[in-house]
Structure 1
Amino acid sequence: MAATDFLETAQGRRLAYHKSDGAGPTVVFLGGLKSDMEGTKAVHLEAWAKARGQAFLRFDYSGHGESSGKFEDGCIGDWHEDALAAVAALTDGPLIVVGSSMGGWQALLLAKAMPDRIAGMVTIAAAPDFTEDGYWASFSDTQKQVLETEGYVELPSDYMEPYIITKRMIEDGRQQLVLRDAVNLQFPVRFLQGTADTAVSTATAVRLVEHATGSDMRLLLVKDADHRFSDGPCLEIIENAVLEVMGAQ
């Protein structure tokens, strides 16, 4: 297994990453909330890209995986800064951005920040604006009061220990919302969504594709696929979506 490399950012964070050289465009994988770059989809896509001779980058946001910091101290804006820093320092030329769950939100923020670099986008169970439309919207009055007084609330997770959701994450998330303004994606986009996903609903996927504008945009619903979207057939669907947006099919 290749050794992990590290990038020091202008914000003083130490980001862990794996980069594979190859032909462009570079495929960049953006992981989900509390996920890391050793996840099934990230590692599979890296191997797939290497087999094709395609440039590839996966990394851990601060507070995730091998990167510095604690998850509880981070927020959407911090992780957006991490993505910008990694892409600016570690890639050249056009990018194919693949974002999973929260990484789908990060992909949209990246496209907004550097539209000229994005050649294509694939999202997997994209979760834009989830801090506001998911967490805050579902909080009870008691939870909102606890958030205000204690600075955080704990939420159960289907996949790991409870999430610590901080007041800072909620407040920062409001500065990063993408579904309240225009989402103009002038490059090929494939939104992938499982119908058995209990973390991100198909309604969220439909809302995103209806809200965004672009000349080559498709939503693919996969029956019975869950939020992980990482079994063999789903991984093949991701591969094909990346090929589509690269124009290789």
Structure 2
Amino acid sequence: MQAPTSNGPNSAPQIVTREDGATIAYHFTPGKNRDKPTGVMFLGGFKSDMEGSKALALESWCQDQGRAFLRFDYTGHGKSSGAFVDGTIGQWAADAMYALDHLTEGPQVLVGSSMGGWLMLLVARERPERLRGLVGLASAPDFTEDLMWNELNDAQRAELDREGHVALPSDYDPLNPYIITKALIEDGKNHLLLRDPLNIQVPVRLIQGMQDRDVPWATALKLQDALVTDDVEIQFVKNGDHRLSETADLRRLTRTLGNLLNDLENPDRETA
């Protein structure tokens, strides 16, 4: 089913209501170039929304290319329904799969940022027939276990067990710490990907900042090792931070995506 069109960052989002009553807000740009049949779908990060600079840069690039593009908010994020503290990795992965199933059509490349890089892998494992490639920025698979639970001290773990949640400081908004719930941590254990071979066969492109204070750059190497596909490339950005949202970062993102799509859609094209 092709989604209705949304026109740019200043327009009101489209809203789709699922059978469970939850609503998903999204912006969809239909493809206009028949020679570019592969759509692009953006999956944002933890506590972010679809109005971020990476999502908008990708939308603008896809519009210029005449290529279909979808950005959306998970439940508990942005303009979608629900409370952030009620969310889990499984729930947000289900949101992403719903968006893929109901708001896009045809082959897709998923672009995932941070937590979105984890979710895109979960979606790719469940919907291999829909996907042609993946692009991850500071991809954070297993972060609830490796970067949250394993970093909590004894007092924080006791508080999490006793209260059902614990507050962790945010570098991006010091006055509003992250509220990490026991449900988020426990559900995350059900979706870990880096402990076993990850049976994804499509090409994967990873971009990782070396100055990322949230996701260690070694995570990209762990992901590369876990992936079954041999078609994995990593770009390490010497001065790149977690957000990778500077002008040069956005150019790198669209260039990487464009090269991947060219390879996918023109497999016999000769290169210099």
TM-score of the two chains, using structure 1 as the length reference: 0.97
Q: Is the 8 A contact 1:187 1:215 kept in 2?
A: no
Which region of structure 1 is more displaced relative to structure 2, 235-244 or 96-105?
235-244
Counterpart selection for 1:10 from 16, 19, 22? 19
Choose the corresponding residue for 1:133, options 122, 135, 146: 146
Could you tell me the percent identity over the aligned residues?
48
What's the CA shift for 1:10?
3.1
In structure 1, the residue matched to 2:128 is: 115
Look up the match of 1:19.
Answer: 28
The one-character-per-residue Cα deviations of 1:187-237 (angstroms, maximum 9, x if unpaired) are 211010011111111111111112212131111101101011011111111
Aligned: 1:244 with 2:259: yes
After superposing the two structures, state which structure 1 stretch, 137-146 or 123-132, moved more.
Answer: 137-146
**Which amino acid is the alignment partner of residue 138 of structure 2?**
A
Paired with 2:184 and 2:138, the residues of 1 have a C-alpha distance of 20
Amino acid corresponding to residue 54 of structure 1 in structure 2: R
2:229 & 2:256 partners in 1: Cα distance? 16
Q: Could you say which structure has the larger radius of gyration?
A: 2
Give the structure 2 partner of residue 218 of structure 1: 233
Equivalent residues of 1:21, 1:55 under 8 A apart: yes
Q: C-alpha distance in 1, partners of 2:202/2:222? A: 19
Match of 1:186 in 2: 201
Q: Distance in 1 between matches of 2:25 and 2:240?
A: 30
2:178 is matched with which residue? 163
| 2:151 maps to amino acid | S
1:188–1:217 contact (8 Å) kept in structure 2: yes
Partner SS for 1:54: coil
For this pair of structures, how many residues does the alignment match?
A: 249
Q: TM-score, normalised by structure 2?
A: 0.89
Q: Say which SS state the counterpart of residue 196 (structure 1) adopts.
A: coil
Q: CA deviation at 1:9?
A: 1.9
Q: In the TM superposition, what is the alpha-carbon distance from 1:8 to its structure 2 partner?
A: 1.2
Alignment pair present for 1:231 and 2:246: yes
Q: Does 1:55 align with 2:72?
A: no
What is the Cα deviation at residue 186 of structure 1? Answer: 1.4
- How many angstroms apart in 1 are the aligned matches of 2:53 and 2:169? 22
The 2-side partners of 1:85 and 1:116 are apart by 15
Distance in 1 between residues matched to 2:244 and 2:256, nearest whole Å: 13
**In structure 2, C-alpha distance between the alignment counterparts of 1:194 and 1:178, rounded to whole Å:** 21
Aligned equivalents of 1:234 and 1:183: distance in 2? Answer: 27
In the alignment, the residues of structure 2 paired with residue 68 and residue 231 of structure 1 have an alpha-carbon distance, to the nearest angstrom, of 30
Higher mean C-alpha displacement, 43-52 vs 174-183: 174-183
Q: Is the 8 A contact 1:62 1:79 kept in 2?
A: yes
Moved over 6 A (4+): none
Q: Secondary structure of 2:191's partner?
A: coil
Corresponding residue of 2:267: none
Distance between the aligned counterparts of 1:3 and 1:149, measured in 2? 41
Distance across 1 between alignment mates of 2:260 and 2:20: 33
Is residue 2:160 matched to residue 1:151? Answer: no
Distance in 1, Cα, partners of 2:262 & 2:19: 35
Q: Give 1:91 deviation, angstroms.
A: 0.7
Question: Which residue is 1:37 aligned to?
Answer: 50
Asked whether the equivalents of residues 94 and 117 of structure 1 are also in contact (C-alpha less than 8 Å), the reply is: yes
Q: What is residue 205 of structure 1 aligned with on the other side?
A: 220
Distance 1:54 1:66 in 2: 24
Q: Which runs of 5+ in 1 are unaligned?
A: none
